[in-house]
Structure 1
Amino acid sequence: MSVRPLPSSTPSAQGVDASGVLALLDAVDAAEHIEPHSLMILRHGRVVAAGWWAPYAPDRLHLLYSISKSFTSTAAGFAVAEGLIGLDEPVISYFPEFEADITDPRSRDMRVRHLASMASGHEAETFERAHALDPDELVRGFLLLPPDRDPGTVFAYNQPATYTLAAILQRVTGRPLSAYLRPRLLDPLGIGEVAWLTDRHGRELGFSGLHGTTDAVARLGQLYLREGVWEGKRLLTREWVAEATRAHIPTAGAMGDTDRQDWHQGYGLQFWRSRHGYRGDGAYGQFCLVLPEQDAVLAMTAATADMQGVLNLVWQHLLPAFRPQPLSGREDTDAALADRLTRLALPPAVREPAPPERAKEWSTARFAPYGGVCADRPSLTGAAVTADAHGWTLTLLEDGHRLDLRPGSGAWTVAEEPVPTAVSGGWTDGDTLAVDILFLETPHRMRVTCSLTGGTFTARWATAPLHGGPLRSLRAPRRPA
């Protein structure tokens, strides 16, 4: 289906000081440990700023990591309204085949709301332990792991809790989460293509793995900001929105980092409370930030390990830009912001061309992993550099497959197959080739460095992927033709 554009407006007409947005862009671009990919700001239901840092683009699906949880929560809201699940029903009641195996009283007392609020009673993440107890069925492994405390009394960010909630939803609806959400959420909101990673059972993961556009994230945030109403039609119940976005359990200190203030405000039903408003967020800087007091939504994708730093910049620069009334005489600032948004770009690697005196050596060079194995990507077994009439190609070898990359010096070279990438790089000296690879449907960047003298290469992640699989899997899942 074609995606209906969200209504747009100048910032000043919606009471937004464009200089605050410009200051946010300046701060994000200047931050050493933040690589921004996209930003959308809605005020009073209208887009007042939207930009993508090239080579990222508006129609590009992007791995949202744990924003997936907020879409799973929304599916739960529909299922509750339809009488398919009950928040106070025992989790085990949805898995009668495990009834005889699950004997711990705390596990048997776990309710659906405990899954949704990350309050299963476990004191820490359970993924590895649950998988060890049952490598073939994560739900069973999770339920076999006795909670440390009574369900509902302690918070732990816990992937199997959301996975189990998603498994319940897919069982009671008889379809994948994305298919269940299509007529209830995605189509009514005008959200086009999405794709969700699945496990060996064909279940969409629920806790992660959703790929969608920044526009889709913004629309979800706007639906919650309007308490479940979209274009005058109620989709979600007001009660669900209130329940999902209030704090059900305290989180202060639970994440083990006293500097992460926005993770210490409490947890809802697959939504975080923030110092201002609430949010869905995903690893490495994916945000769906809802600000009811400001009647605003911010959607963002990025690659960073400093997510609190991103929010700090939002609070510092953007929050003061929201004013109670339209602003007059700001046409020049609005125009400056509009121009800036069209010029956003990630700087490519600017390096030297192949050294002429060693070009022949480089054109047939083969490389083995430095030290015998790539520390960041052990499955990479070799690399090669070749030249033809069209330029240089870096080839990475991984479990019998090859990934051919044509780096542009001073520019990004984009390719769609076998995995969407943008590549730039060149020679730092006669002995060393360094290439940066953006995996465009994810937050991830890899730098490959080849040494001609040593005949070795290294591959290092800026942010390491959290899902397994080869490099060619770093893309949104594609439907079979």
Structure 2
Amino acid sequence: MRPLSLTLLALVAPTAAGADLPRSAPEAQGVSSPAVLAFVEAADKDIDALHSFMLVRHGRVVAEGWWAPYTAGAPHMLFSLSKSFTSTAVGLAAAEGKLSVDDPVLQFFPNDAPADPSAHLKAMRLSDLLRMSTGQQAEPARKPTEPWAKTFLAQQVPFKPGTHFLYNTSATYMLSAAVQKATGQTTLDYLKPRLFEPLGIANPTWELSPQGISTGGYGLSVRTEDIAKFGQLYLQKGKWNGKQLVPEAWVSAATARQTSNGSNPKSDWDQGYGYQFWRCRHGAYRGDGAFGQYCIVLPEQDAVVAITAGVRDMQAVLNLVWDKLLPALKDAPLAADEGAAQKLAGALKALSVRRPEGKGPGPKVTGKKYMFPANDGKLAALTLERGAGDEVTLVAQVAGAERRIECASTGWKSGRVAWGRQPEQPAAAAGAWTADDTFTAKVCFTETPFVLTLRLKFTGAEVRVEPEWNVGFGPTKEPALVGKQ
């Protein structure tokens, strides 16, 4: 029989191949298991929903968990957390002498420049892109029909570069494009041997612009542990396994306050901005992305927090880190508390995104086909099929193709799903009759922040379908559709 301490570590051991951060019991690294449990329980109760969480202390993972159906081995879209990786590429290219942060932006894009560049555009440097101080008043568009660099350079620059903070994803794209111009490789390919491979980050993917350039400000997908490794590399001032991967001077500059962006002492978006890193309260800094993707580095506590999520209120997640996790980090090792550690490990292992709760067997509508008039969602027909036990499969005809959503009655059913804005991709679904006349399906697109809830209300010979997304850059509720037998 294994000792209890080894059993506890096994409960939180990684399941992803190639994961190489060492593991430790929380108390051995000065972390209180009850305090971490309080964070996990509060996140599970009050935030809908975290997808994963990893806490690294003194270089060792002391707590990690994935809310089912999200898993350790699956990559997750980072959105703007990608920006911090693009910043790293710029730092590496500068260290290799391929570019300088003082280089004028126009130097890299002579064919995309306007015929008569303004004085402010001529003065714009890579460093202004890095600190989101391009001098532009509005973020340039990124249209599929126009070269993104040309659109960026055509935008008016009313302010002197370096004097006006504007969060600007197109500026990060220009950094990625500059890296590609200077190195002859996409930012992804450039980083593979210099960052991803040394850190053991396998199979990173990065979206491309229509011009074949890594999008820079978003589009990178990696695993939760990869986020933690990236944060640990920065915590270690660019050193990994005894080798200086990123110059220490770059780490210091990129994570320092390079520009002011507000004065609210309660906001983690008003603490200053570095080179594609945000400054935080409590002496911390972070990379972050839309809907709750975080790489939080706490130098004073020698800790890293990696989180993926699908949330609307990003500040609420950071507040929870400061309120629950920060006090858990003590200056010295704590006495072993295997009971508390076991309780924490059990809670981490049992995490799950909230599933629809069943209220009854539902009406007898399985096998009946409902037809829909023409609609923007291109849903033509819908049928419910019963599977084993209480499992239900939604069979939809969408844009001329059959789409099947198999909904587990307990747990989650993994497969591939396409719906609306989301193309076919890995997903997991659960469903239940949440009222006498309503079947609710919840579909997690497990490599993204996005979760789709479909409410199907049956009345006589009609069904009313109400799709709603958990988060989005626009409206999250889609128009209801009514189908008839």
Would the alpha carbon gap of residues 388 and 38 (structure 1) be closer, same or farther in structure 2, given more than 3 Å must change? closer
Task: Please tell me the residue identity of whatever aligns with 1:9.
Answer: S
Match of 1:261 in 2: 267
Match of 2:70 in 1: 56
Please state if 1:279 is matched with 2:286.
yes
Match of 2:118 in 1: 104
CA drift at 1:353: 6.1
Match of 1:412 in 2: 412
CA distance in 1, matches of 2:71, 2:192: 23
Q: Deviations over 1:31-64 (max 9, x none)?
A: 1x43011111111111111111111100011111
Would the alpha carbon gap of residues 278 and 380 (structure 1) be closer, same or farther in structure 2, given more than 3 Å must change? farther
Which 4+ residue blocks in structure 1 deviate beyond 4 angstroms?
388-391
Match of 1:368 in 2: 372
Match of 1:459 among 467, 475, 483: 467
Would the alpha carbon gap of residues 459 and 326 (structure 1) be closer, same or farther in structure 2, given more than 3 Å must change? same
Task: Please tell me the residue identity of whatever aligns with 1:262.
Answer: D
CA drift at 1:171: 2.0
What secondary structure sits across from 2:275 in the alignment? coil
Q: Name whichever of 309-318 and 171-180 sits farther off.
A: 171-180
Please state if 1:69 is matched with 2:89.
no
TM-score between both structures, scaled by the size of structure 2: 0.87
TM-score between both structures, scaled by the size of structure 1: 0.88
1:407–1:424 CA contact under 8 A, matched in 2: yes
CA drift at 1:463: 0.8
Please state if 1:114 is matched with 2:128.
yes
Match of 1:91 in 2: 105
CA drift at 1:179: 1.2
CA drift at 1:362: 3.6
Within a 5 Å distance, the mapping from 1:301-340 to structure 2 comes to 301-340=308-347
Q: Name whichever of 100-109 and 233-242 sits farther off.
A: 100-109
Please state if 1:421 is matched with 2:427.
yes
Match of 2:59 in 1: 45
Would the alpha carbon gap of residues 73 and 46 (structure 1) be closer, same or farther in structure 2, given more than 3 Å must change? same
Aligned length: 448
What secondary structure sits across from 2:372 in the alignment? strand
Match of 1:161 in 2: 171
CA drift at 1:379: 3.3
CA distance in 2, matches of 1:423, 1:465: 23
CA distance in 2, matches of 1:143, 1:333: 57
Match of 1:29 in 2: 44
Identity %: 39
Match of 2:356 in 1: 349
Would the alpha carbon gap of residues 388 and 43 (structure 1) be closer, same or farther in structure 2, given more than 3 Å must change? closer
Match of 1:472 in 2: none
CA distance in 2, matches of 1:443, 1:298: 18
CA distance in 1, matches of 2:214, 2:153: 19
Match of 1:226 in 2: 236
Match of 2:384 among 377, 383, 386: 386
Match of 2:10 in 1: none
Q: Deviations over 1:369-390 (max 9, x none)?
A: 7xx75xxxx4343451232665
Would the alpha carbon gap of residues 181 and 334 (structure 1) be closer, same or farther in structure 2, given more than 3 Å must change? same
Would the alpha carbon gap of residues 338 and 139 (structure 1) be closer, same or farther in structure 2, given more than 3 Å must change? same
Q: Name whichever of 206-215 and 2-11 sits farther off.
A: 2-11
CA distance in 1, matches of 2:357, 2:410: 5
Would the alpha carbon gap of residues 140 and 350 (structure 1) be closer, same or farther in structure 2, given more than 3 Å must change? same
